[in-house]
A and B are shown apart, each in its own frame.
Chain A
Amino acid sequence: MPQILVKLADLSVSNNPEDLLVVYGLGSTAAVMLYDAQAQTGGIAHFMLPSSASEPQRAREYPAMFADVAIPLLVEACTKKGARREAITARLAGGSLLMGQGISRSISEGNIAAARRILEQLSIPLTAENTGGNHNRAVRMEISTGKSFVRHPDGNWEEMA
């Protein structure tokens, strides 16, 4: 199965049932995974900050860096590839915290809160979440089925249902 790596501050969309979209290196960052089962089309955005408000120029250069720009853009990219807007569902992973939390709390929790809020505003149902903790994650999504998996620190992959 061809793996498509979704880098930090990037997004990727596919309607090729052979494809597997993968994000490695989720820390305080977050991945939103969108999928339309009937169209067999989906995508992942890997953003790192909740809001582009103070960084408009950076957001033009790296639109997928910020939740508020990345998620609407991902929806648009999915529909361009054939997903039906009203059939899209979402999953969310990431938002790990440092201990002591002072440095990372507003970014980690901000990323997760922003994703939930934006998906709600877009009326996209959030069907599964795997967030928080002090560990890294990886996620992957099979385009043929929409099945999404999250990798635990012990290396095992668990389906996000």
Chain B
Amino acid sequence: MSMDSAIKKAVNGLPAFPATVHRVTALINDPDSSMAELVDVVRLDQSITANILRMCNSAYFGLRHKVDNVQDAILYLGRQNIVRAVLAAGASRFFRNTPGYEAEAKVMWEHAVGTALLAQILSKKVTGREETSLFTAAILHDIGKIVLGAFVKDKYAEIKKIVSGESRSFLEAEEKVLGMNHATLGGLIAANWKFPEEIRQAIAFHHRPDRLASGNGLMPWLVHLADQGCLMLGIGQGSDGLAYDGLDEAMKRLGLAQADFEAALARLVKELDNARELVGIVQPSPH
């Protein structure tokens, strides 16, 4: 089997994304939906229910009451936070120890959550808003690594040689050796999972938003900058390290000054402290 078809076969072997997440998103966006419908949908998925209850007592969501049932969780979280909590709970099940990138499940997840939080911090600064679709794209931006890792592991020496010997980015080395990079692959996975185009593109182009035709909005740039910020802070390190292009253009596109970026990084540390329960829903898995 060719490398390309082996990778695609591995993508098709991934389980479907939990339907609960898409149904919750649809209900939240439907002004006619009722609280009871939402509660019923969430309750259908036991693992999501358990994770939501755990997460919503996190300081990140800022609830004053201790919550021990889905109805109260939904009542107190608010619409945007429900989607975030359900999405995080649904996405977390796909994070596992990832060979090739030599990253444990917990480390991959911490990087995903860190990137999602930083993307929101940056978005708030740039547009004054926090968007659920941005949170989704950011939390799933490296999902391609989950599949590509096994292939990276097999060809690691070759990839590493291109990165260190030719000073090329890890992304370019993946493309050259495997015919596919983890970002593009992530976009394919997100398509299989029926995420909208805006999210798929932000995932597929998170390292190279400059390769997207203009008019695609700020989301790919926000995910790019948030990802690079987390790499810089060592949040979720792997064998690929910092061997990616940090595009100078990102700050200009987003209208951010260096001081804004530094303030956002500083704020991220605080938010990650507050989001320990969110980070903690993926436990170290046995080797």
Which of A29, A55, A108, A134 touches B263 (beta carbons < 8 Å)? A55
Contact in complex: A27, B245 (CB < 8 Å): no
> How many residues on chain B are close to A (CB under 8 Å)?
35
Q: Does B72 contact A (CB under 8 A)?
A: no
Q: Closest residue of chain B to A61, judged by CB?
A: B270
* A98-B246 in contact given A26-B234, A27-B231, A136-B237 (Cβ < 8 Å): yes
Contact in complex: B265, A48 (CB < 8 Å): yes
A103 to B207, CA, bound (A): 13
Q: Does A34 contact B (CB under 8 A)?
A: no
Q: Does B212 contact A (CB under 8 A)?
A: no
A136 to B230, CA, bound (A): 12
* A103-B235 in contact given A55-B262, A65-B269 (Cβ < 8 Å): no
Q: Does A81 contact B (CB under 8 A)?
A: no
Q: Which residues of A contact B266 (CB under 8 A)?
A: 48-49, 55, 58, 62, 65
Q: What secondary structure prevails in chain B residues at the interface with A?
A: helix
A63–chain B nearest beta-carbon distance, Å: 12
A101 to B250, CA, bound (A): 12
Q: Which residues of A contact B265 (CB under 8 A)?
A: 48-49, 107
A100 to B228, CA, bound (A): 12
- In chain B, residues 210-226, which have Cβ atoms closer than 8 Å to a Cβ of chain A? 225
Contact in complex: B262, A54 (CB < 8 Å): yes
A106 to B248, CA, bound (A): 12
Contact in complex: A29, B232 (CB < 8 Å): yes
Which of A24, A55, A61, A102 touches B246 (beta carbons < 8 Å)? A102
Contact in complex: B243, A135 (CB < 8 Å): yes
Q: Does A99 contact B (CB under 8 A)?
A: yes
A155–chain B nearest beta-carbon distance, Å: 8
Contact in complex: A153, B241 (CB < 8 Å): yes
Q: Which residues of B contact A9 (CB under 8 A)?
A: 269
Which of A29, A98, A153 touches B245 (beta carbons < 8 Å)? A98
Contact code string B140-162 (vs A, CB < 8 Å = 1, else 0): 00000000000000000000000
- In chain B, residues 225-257, which have Cβ atoms closer than 8 Å to a Cβ of chain A? 225, 228-229, 231-235, 237-239, 241-251
Contact in complex: A99, B246 (CB < 8 Å): yes
Q: Does A14 contact B (CB under 8 A)?
A: no
Residues in chain B within 8 A of chain A (CB atoms): 163, 167, 169, 225, 228-229, 231-235, 237-239, 241-251, 258-259, 261-263, 265-267, 269-270
Residues in chain A within 8 A of chain B (CB atoms): 8-9, 24-29, 48-49, 54-55, 58, 61-62, 65, 96-104, 106-108, 134-136, 153
